Structure formats: C-alpha cells, structure tokens
Chains A and B, each alone.
Chain A
Amino acid sequence: AQSVAQPEDQVNVAEGNPLTVKCTYSVSGNPYLFWYVQYPNRGLQFLLKYITGDNLVKGSYGFEAEFNKSQTSFHLKKPSALVSDSALYFCAVRPFTSGTYKYIFGTGTRLKVLA
C-alpha cells in the first residue's frame, strides 16, 4: 500500500537552531512530494514541492527540503528556526501513476520552537 510516514509527532527546537522534520514515503514509481504548514484554525498552506531535478528544493519562509531517492525520504529543513515557525507540518505525496490525482498525506508533525 502507498503511504507517507512522519515518524515524529512533535519536534522541539530552540530558536536560532536548525530544524529538521522527517518524512519517508512508500509509493510505486517516482513520486511528486510536497510540504504544507498548518497554523491553528487555518487551512493548509503550501511550502514547497519536489517534482524532478535538484534534490534540494527551496520554498517559502526559508524552508528547504532534501529528496533522497535511495532512502525514500523528503525531510524538511530550516537553518535557523523562528518562534513563528511553530505550527503543524504535513508531508504529502502524489504517486506518479497515470490517472491518479490523489495526494497521500502524512499524519503531521507539530513543530515547537522555543524562545
């Protein structure tokens, strides 16, 4: 079965420190990969995506993500965390399958940046 795993329910990091939010996936073929952020009582907002090309993808608000095909991972990173980065982060994958328009979401990781 195709799936996305976010192994950490919560990640705590001190302000100014680098952060990593992990995501691994299990799909057939080459996937399209996404990260979204959700602030309290809001819908999800797009951060970045990997379609093809460079394994390091840069996105909004200083976030970046590294695609690793051999490890089937797409970890979200930021060099210096801000308190305002505290939110719920979702990894999503859309399998590269003809006729498939569905996105599979992970269960989310709550990021808490401590002042």
Chain B
Amino acid sequence: NAGVTQTPKFRILKIGQSMTLQCAQDMNHNYMYWYRQDPGMGLKLIYYSVGAGITDKGEVPNGYNVSRSTTEDFPLRLELAAPSQTSVYFCASSYGTSGSGVDEQFFGPGTRLTVL
C-alpha cells in the first residue's frame, strides 16, 4: 500500500494564481481531511469529507474548495492565491470508527506552498 500520497511536494505561486493540491489514499478509508500547518500554530483543519460526495468546512475554509468524487481522491483547490496561504498542507485519512473504536489518522508527506 502506498498509504496517503500528495502531489506536488513543493510549489511557488504568484498572488492571484490558482492550483490544485492532489491527495489520494489506497486504504479504502471513508474519512479524509485537509490541514495546514503554520509554524508554532499546530494543524488547522481546512475541509474534511466523510465519504464520496460529502464534504464539510473545518476551521479555516476561506480561500479553499474541495471535492470528493471517489473514495480514493480528495483534491484541495486554491482559486486566488494569497500570501496568507503560504503554509505546509497535509492530507490525512482514517476509517473513522471501527470495531476497535475511533481510528487514528494516516498522513501524507505534505505539500509546501509559497505564495509570492
């Protein structure tokens, strides 16, 4: 299993440009999440999904959009990049709940985005 994969690893955008951060998982997890990690701030939830076709906002959704057309993929779209979106972005997935209770999240390696 590849686990959770993210592309690209690095990207530099100019203000106003758009891009899509790709995330895929091959563990058949229902739940998927997008976080951003800023220095000293921990992880902030941007959007999450509990299954194909179902998404919901997290703490910091402004400036982002998501879609979940398949169980495997959960892309994050930035429409008009701003310097405040400079961050490291992590995608994560989990079963949600299983016979053992609440399940842990599996994280991708991250995408480091700089907006200039």
Task: Enumerate chain A interface residues (CB-CB to B < 8 A).
Answer: 9, 32, 34, 36, 41-46, 49, 51-52, 90, 94, 101-103, 105-108
B side interface size, CB within 8 A: 25
**A52 and B101 within 8 A (CB):** yes
Given A43-B109, A43-B110, A51-B100, the answer on whether A107 and B41 have CB atoms closer than 8 Å is yes
Task: Enumerate chain B interface residues (CB-CB to A < 8 A).
Answer: 4, 31, 33, 35, 40-43, 45, 48, 50, 58, 90, 92, 96, 100-102, 104-110
Q: For B90, what are the chain A residues with a Cβ–Cβ distance below 8 Å?
A: 43-44
**A101 and B40 within 8 A (CB):** no
Closest to A31 in B: B102
Partner of A101, one of B48, B101, B108, B109: B48
Q: For B107, what are the chain A residues with a Cβ–Cβ distance below 8 Å?
A: 36, 43-45
Partner of A103, one of B4, B45, B106: B45
Q: Which 5 A-B pairs have the closest CB atoms?
A: A43-B107, A51-B101, A107-B42, A46-B104, A105-B43
- A41–B109 Cα gap in the complex (Å)? 7
B103 → A minimal CB distance (Å): 8
- A68–B102 Cα gap in the complex (Å)? 19
Given A101-B48, A101-B50, A103-B45, the answer on whether A46 and B101 have CB atoms closer than 8 Å is no
Q: For B106, what are the chain A residues with a Cβ–Cβ distance below 8 Å?
A: 46
**B105 and A46 within 8 A (CB):** yes
**A103 and B105 within 8 A (CB):** yes
Q: For A90, what are the chain B residues with a Cβ–Cβ distance below 8 Å?
A: 42-43
Given A45-B107, A49-B102, A52-B101, the answer on whether A102 and B96 have CB atoms closer than 8 Å is no
